[in-house]
Amino acid sequence: MRRHAVVIAVIVSVLAAGCSVEQRDITFDVEKLTTAQSSRIYDRNGVLITELRGEQRRTDVTDIALIPEVVRNAVVAIEDERFYEHDGVDLKAILRAARSNVTAGGISQGGSTITQQYVGNVFLDRSEQTVTRKIEEFFMARRFEQFFTKDFILLRYLNWVYFGNGAYGIEAAARQYFGAPACELATTAAERDSEVCLKVTELTLEQAALLAGLIQRPSAFDPYRNPQDARRRRNLVLERMLVNGFITNDEYDRAYNEPIVLIEDIPILEERYPAAHFVEDVKQWFLDNDAFGPTREYRTQLLFEGGLDIHTTIDLGLQVRAEATVEAILPDNGINPDAAATVLGVGGAEDGHVLAMVGGRDFFGDDTDAKFNLASGKGRQAGSAMKPVALATALTRGLSVTKTYDAPDELEIDRPDICGPLWTIRGGLGSEPEAPVESNLIEGMRRSINTVYAQLMVDVRPANFVTMAERLGLEPGRIAPVCAGVLGTEDVNTVELATMFSTFARSGRQADPTMVTSIIQPDGTALYRHRTDDVPVLDPSVANQITWVLQGVITSGTGHRAAIDRPAAGKTGTAQNYADATFVGYTPQRAAAVWVGFPDAQIPMEPPTTDIRVTGGTYPAQIWREIMIAAHEGIEA
């Protein structure tokens, strides 16, 4: 009893302290009474790519009469059973919740009414959870009910509230879990979503109860992922409807025993738009970024409802050219391998900007892995494209590009202290007639001699190699410190490869890649502005030596098919079994990486599987060349 008295005293004091809030002239921004706006994603030139309304589409119901009474009653019964009796704040519910929370030793019940939930989230800062905010919500709810009817408030609430799985509003939720309305099956796309064709009008009692039960904790009661919890929650709603006289015992018994029947868990709307893999990465970047809100749920709501203008780095013109290049060189005929590509800006205002990203054949395709981004995902073996990292490590430690090693066609390295068990390397000059038995690091790079760079790896040590890769821009912990890493046996993706090589292009200054330049809120203020921070990680003389060596790869080495109309540097990469082929290269203005392979498995790209034996100097170099020609249009050589 004493604890309860303390609780009541605290509540009374809080309400007393809030009188000053009530005495203020509380006003409401009428623009906020409209439903939240879709966010928009633009390319670097201000061209609209898409509106973010696919996964979290909202279809407003325009009149409360169009929402069946059974739906309204279900929501009221579980969220605010005294909704039609209180003046915006339910003191009985607050006291009941407070007593329950004290008894539980934590928060087990909430006392917010439907009106409080609505005004608190629409008119107040959702990220702020303070006593002052709660007081403002309290008095704002009472004031709101003085201005607007119960039907008006309930309609706005049902159009606003989140039901999980990207469904905002009761109509979107009805479609998400139970499918399109019957009337829609006979209409054209242009006629859909009209107020006379609503799924909510078809909901049964048990369906209405299921949706009402999702409001409190949509993830926890997700019927797709937690069907048993969802059913228990639905039946609790039915119980509250029975207690409040909204349904009869017979209706309760019938609905209580009904199984949950849902449509397949698919996005509400799947519309096509360009650069879809890139757009998906932008969305995930936003959702994973704590700077945009305290929880992922909050960030999700902000992204899809916040009316944000998201200005990205992608150049849609270049993106189209890049995708067309892949299709021209590797037609999607069911036989050819797939490809991934990333183009980065180097220097100036677009330093580190992702200008193009080919993440796969068709983001909207039927393949199970269609949405997996081959350009920025797990990655695959880069092969000899990792040799420049070893060269950078060597030059930093005082070795010279003229350092010479034996170059046999096959080499065994027995250094268990450095490389573990006996390491056998193939790929040298020994099989070539009248070939030199030695090679320096220059020719070893240009001719991609594995046995030369394997010996260099022993000299510089795998741990130092990994450290250099991370300094150049590879995410820490991405690759293991193993000797075979110099031959690209560790998985990396094209974004990472282009990032590392772009550091050479900047004469040793590293800049992280970015996809977004700014995010502007509806009021015109900036939620985010990108600032490029490049940092020196490599001595300019070292970076420039590497560039000179890699230019030879294109002019007279394995990458000759990548030659363009200006000086360029690059490196081929081929996995030992020909399952992965890569080309990475750069100019002073652009860096790009291309990977070719079969995404589902390590399938050797040799006849008869492919028309030719695919190496980094074949399809990847050809694709790189065409993309880079397009990327340099308008840039003086």
pLDDT of res. 35? 60
pLDDT of res. 57? 61
pLDDT of res. 89? 84
pLDDT of res. 167? 85
Delimit the CATH 3.40.710.10 region(s) of the chain.
272-290+311-382+490-637, 387-474
pLDDT of res. 188? 32
Q: How far apart are CA 144 and CA 89, in angstroms?
A: 11
* Domain 272-290+311-382+490-637 bears CATH identifier 1.10.510.10: no
Quote the longest CA-to-CA distance of the chain.
99
Among the listed residues 169, 245, 208, 233, the one whose alpha carbon sits nearest the alpha carbon of residue 70: 208
Q: Are 361 and 338 in contact (CB under 8 A)?
A: yes
Count CB-CB contacts under 10 A for residue 171. 25
**CATH code that applies to domain 2-36+57-256:** 1.10.3810.10
Among the listed residues 21, 28, 30, the one whose alpha carbon sits nearest the alpha carbon of residue 138: 21
Query: Residue 611 half-sphere exposure, CB side, CA atoms within 13 Å?
Result: 8
pLDDT of res. 524? 85
Dihedral of the alpha carbons of 29, 34, 35, 41, in degrees to the nearest 10: -80
Delimit the CATH 1.10.3810.10 region(s) of the chain.
2-36+57-256
pLDDT of res. 112? 85
Eight-class DSSP state of 342: E
Q: How far apart are CA 212 and CA 478, in angstroms?
A: 44
Count CB-CB contacts under 10 A for residue 437. 10
User: What is the pTM assigned to this prediction?
Assistant: 0.67
pLDDT digits over 590-628, tens only?
999 999 999 988 999 999 999 999 999 999 999 999 999
Q: How far apart are CA 407 and CA 71, in angstroms?
A: 78
pLDDT of res. 576? 84
Q: Are 472 and 503 in contact (CB under 8 A)?
A: yes
179: tokens are 């499918």
Tell me the CATH number of domain 387-474, given options 3.90.550.10, 3.40.710.10, 3.40.50.2300, 3.40.50.150. Answer: 3.40.710.10
pLDDT of res. 187? 32
Distance in Å from the first CA to the final CA of the chain: 84
Q: How far apart are CA 32 and CA 544, in angstroms?
A: 56
Q: How far apart are CA 210 and CA 224, in angstroms?
A: 12
| 469: amino acid identity, one letter | A
Phi, psi of 526 (to 5 degrees): -90, 125
Give me the residues of the chain with pLDDT under 50, please: 1-14, 16-23, 54-56, 101, 104-109, 186-195, 268-269
